[in-house]
Amino acid sequence: MDWLALLLGPFPLRRNKARSVVYIPIVAVTGDPLRSGMVTSLARPGGNITGVSLMAIELHGKCVELLHDLLPSVRRVAGLFNADDPSWKPIQEYVQLAGKDTGIEISPSSMVRGPGEIDLTLAAMKRKRAEAVVVQGSLATKDVAELALKHRYRRPPSHAHSLRLAA
């Protein structure tokens, strides 16, 4: 083996590009290789591609449900999505669906292309009266959490950890 490609999502690899480098084994860790077009089947990804699917897209909707349970007075939640991550669209759909199910308005939904845009985007979402924010996993870092606190987004009470364990 001359090369090994290790890909840790998000990345724009499509099935046809993977075929063009069929001699290079590709090991990927990604959110949803089916939706991204990287593979046609999880059971048999085929060719030179193998790896782990995190399947965490649905969990973003669960964040809205948790906000509803932990902060029942929240009525408007913003969504912060990564334009460079191909799974932003299904994540946004799950967030919107959870908003409908819980009676929370998901607005605004904003796209960023990098860390340099996050501070201004969070400030703009706050000006549009967002009370809390759901951040796409590929953007979620300690710095983003600190920026959200800087802009005074609501957070669960300090006893929320024990509430989640009890549920």
Q: What percent of the chain has pLDDT over 90?
A: 40
Say what the pLDDT of residue 21 is. Answer: 58
Say what the pLDDT of residue 110 is. Answer: 94
Secondary structure letter of residue 4 according to DSSP:
-
Long-range contacts of 9-16 (CB under 8 A, 24+ apart): 9/36, 9/54, 9/85, 9/87, 9/138, 10/36, 10/82, 10/84, 10/85, 10/86, 10/87, 10/138, 12/86, 13/38, 14/38, 15/39, 15/40
Tokens of 141: 């870092």
Spans of all domains in the chain: 5-53, 59-160
Average pLDDT for 42-67: 82
pTM of the model: 0.69
Of the candidates 83, 78, 36, the one whose C-alpha atom is nearest the C-alpha of residue 57 is 36
Was domain 59-160 assigned CATH 3.40.50.1000? no
Average pLDDT for 16-28: 63
Contacts of 164 (CB under 8 A, 6+ apart): 66
- pLDDT higher than 50, residue 163: no
Average pLDDT for 93-113: 95
Q: Which of 18-27, 57-66, 81-90, 158-167 has the lowest mean pLDDT?
A: 158-167
- pLDDT higher than 50, residue 160: no
Say what the pLDDT of residue 4 is. Answer: 52
Average pLDDT for 59-80: 92
- pLDDT higher than 80, residue 58: yes
- The residue with greater pLDDT, 91 or 54, is 91
**Tens of pLDDT along 114-154?**
889 999 999 999 999 999 999 998 888 889 889 988 998 87
Tokens of 15: 């099935």
Average pLDDT for 148-164: 65
- pLDDT higher than 60, residue 86: yes
